[in-house]
Amino acid sequence: MLDPSYLVMGLDGLSHAHGKDYFRDGHLAASVIAAYYLCQENSLGEATQDLIKSRIDDELRNDAIFRTAPHEPPDSALLEQLLDTLSTGIGDLREVGHNIIFGAAALKAFRDCPEEITPGRIQGICRLIDDFSKSQNVDLADDDGVPGIDDEGALIEFIFSEFLRSVSLYAGYGQGWAGHLLTIGHAVIELSRLGYPKLASQAHCAYRMYIKTMRRGPQETDSHIPDHPPSALTPLDHDYWVQRKSLRSGLGHAFKYAYSFYNLFAQLSDPVLRDRCQAESHKIF
């Protein structure tokens, strides 16, 4: 079974990800945190969790970013340093919103493992967030119809409606836009749920920029990537993980997309929208 030690593994990974390839390594670290919550929030069976655990141990654990952080006394006051670091850039659209995704993952893991709030981890994760310095901001003067963070239900419905728009718009170009539409939107909502409304409001502006950029559709320089074929298996099924040969392919998206999809999907009440999103979900899994 995946236990909270995998949250610690993910936090250690995030704290070391700045050292080499912050984008790639941040994905791997956040994916371990996502795997833990995917299993816990969806009550995956013991055999399925054991299979996921073995895949993480076999394919990811030996990566240098997951080395155990030195023992230090915890200090919850250090969390303010991470919050301050996030606030300096979370309102900008930086590298497809991964400063938002990784920041929210760290804060949620620290909430559940407060004894792991140590100087080394906080400093390392702040350095990772600072690495996301390239902005792709767009004008938000137009009304884009994105509900505010004060209406979570409406925002979740919007996210899934845009998910359907994205999988159609980018058919044959891979579904990274649709997948990140979920993960960034989920991160914004998580920041609000965790009790950081100011950060969530800032991140919401970046998400609106992402939506506006996504709606432009494929560009001439985009590569053609075949969509995944339909499948009756989902990440909630044991056999899905049996058939998935590698966790490294897709930079850890195997867990992050599934975690965000099902966390938000649990709160989606519109039955028609639920059916349509379920029918298209194989394209990101």
Domain-embedded: residue 136 = no
Strand partners, 94: 135
Tell me what percent of the residues of the chain surpass a pLDDT of 70: 98
Decide if 25 is inside a domain.
yes
- Cα–Cα distance for residue pair 39/46, rounded to 1 Å: 9
Mark whether 206 and 108 lie in a shared domain.
no
Q: Which pLDDT score is estimated for 156?
A: 98
> Is 141 a domain residue?
no
Cβ atoms of 14 and 106 within 8 Å: the answer is: yes
Residue 192 domain flag? yes
- pLDDT exceeding 90 applies to what percent of the chain? 92
Residue 186 lies in a domain: yes
Q: Are residues 157 and 219 in the same domain?
A: yes
Separation between Cα atoms, residue 170 and residue 144, nearest integer Å: 19
pLDDT at 66 over 80: yes
What's the whole-number mean pLDDT along residues 260-264?
98
Q: What is the pTM assigned to this prediction? A: 0.96
Task: Please determine, for residue 248, whether its predicted confidence score (pLDDT) is greater than 90.
Answer: no
Q: Quote the number of domains for the chain.
A: 2
Whether the predicted pLDDT of 187 surpasses 70: yes
Q: How confident is the model at residue 249 (pLDDT cuts 50, 70, 90)?
A: low
State both tokens at 72: 């230090």
3-state secondary structure of 225: strand
Confidence (pLDDT) at 96: 94
Flag whether 147 is in a domain: no
Asked which of 131, 166, 184 is the last residue of a domain, the reply is 131
* Residue 2 clears pLDDT 70, i.e. is over it: yes
- Dist CA 152 CA 185 (whole Å): 11
Q: Which of 76-80, 133-137, 245-249 has the lowest mean pLDDT?
A: 245-249
Residue type, 216: R
Q: What is the rounded end-to-end Cα distance, in angstroms, of the chain? A: 22
Give the model's pLDDT for residue 250: 58
The conformation of residue 237, written as its DSSP 8-state character, comes to S
User: Are both 116 and 207 inside the same structural domain?
Assistant: no
Are 82 and 164 within 8 A, CB to CB?
no
Question: For residue 201, what are the domain limits?
Answer: 152-283
Q: Is the confidence at residue 188, as pLDDT, over 70? A: yes
Residues 61 and 180 reside in one and the same domain: no
Nearest in space to 68 (alpha carbons), one of 140, 5, 152, 21: 5
pLDDT band at 79 (very low <50, low <70, confident <90, very high): very high
Cα–Cα distance, 121 to 22 (Å, whole number): 15
164 and 112 inside one domain:
no
pLDDT digits (tens, 9 = 90+) for 197-236: 999 999 999 999 999 999 999 998 889 999 999 999 999 9
**d(C-alpha 32, C-alpha 14), whole Å:** 10
Structure confidence at residue 112 (pLDDT): 98
Q: Which pLDDT belongs to residue 233?
A: 96
Least confident of 63-67, 89-93, 241-245: 241-245
Mean pLDDT of the region 45-66: 95
Q: Give pLDDT tens digits for 100-143.
A: 999 999 999 999 999 999 999 999 999 999 999 999 999 998 78
Report how far residue 179's alpha carbon sits from residue 79's, in angstroms, rounded to the nearest whole number.
Answer: 29
Burial 135-157 (b: 16+ CB within 10 A, else e): eeeeeeeeeeebeebeeeeebbb
Please check whether residues 111 and 14 belong to one and the same domain.
yes
Q: Are residues 126 and 85 in the same domain?
A: yes
* Residues 272 and 174 occupy one common structural domain: yes
Rg of the Cα trace of the chain?
Answer: 18
Residue 19 has pLDDT above 90, yes or no: no
Domain end point (choices 96, 131, 166): 131
Q: Are residue 168 and residue 87 in the same domain, yes or no?
A: no
pLDDT at 43: 98
For residue 246, pLDDT over 80 is answered with no
Q: At what angle do helices 5-16 and 119-131 cross, to 10 degrees?
A: 50
Q: DSSP H helical segments within the chain, as ranges? A: 5-16, 22-41, 46-59, 79-87, 98-112, 119-131, 152-169, 176-193, 197-214, 238-243, 253-265, 271-280
| Residue 271 pLDDT | 98
Three-state SS string over 11-74 comes to HHHHHHHHHCCHHHHHHHHHHHHHHHHHHHHCCCCHHHHHHHHHHHHHHCCCCHHHCCCCCCCC
pLDDT for 251 beyond 90: no
Predicted pLDDT of residue 245? 75
- The 10s digit of each residue's pLDDT in 28-50 is 999 999 999 999 999 999 999 99
Whether residues 126 and 180 share a domain: the answer is no
Residues 125 and 167 in one domain: no
140, part of any domain: no
157 and 253 fall within a common domain: yes
Is there a domain that residue 139 lies in? Answer: no
